[in-house]
Amino acid sequence: MKEEKIPTHVGIIMDGNGRWATMRGLKRSAGHKAGFNTLKTLATHILNSGVKVLSIFAFSTENFSRSKEEVDYLMDLFVTGVKTLKKEFSKYNIKVIFSGRSKPLPDKVLKEMKKVEAYTENNTNGIFNICLNYGGKAEIVDTAKKIAKLVKEGKLNIEDI
Cis previous bond, 7, omega within 30: no
What's the rounded Cα separation, in Å, for the pair 135 and 142? 10
Return the percentage of the chain with pLDDT > 90, whole number: 41
Contact between 134 and 57 under an 8 Å Cβ cutoff? The reply is yes
**Is the model's pTM score more than 0.95?**
no
Q: Higher confidence at residue 26 or residue 129?
A: 129
Query: What pLDDT shows up at residue 142?
Result: 84
Residues 6+ apart with CB under 8 A from 96: 82, 85, 86, 89, 116, 117, 119, 120, 127, 128, 130
Res. 7 pLDDT band, cuts 50 70 90? very high
Enumerate the active-site residues. 15, 63
Query: What pLDDT shows up at residue 1?
Result: 63
Query: What pLDDT shows up at residue 160?
Result: 84
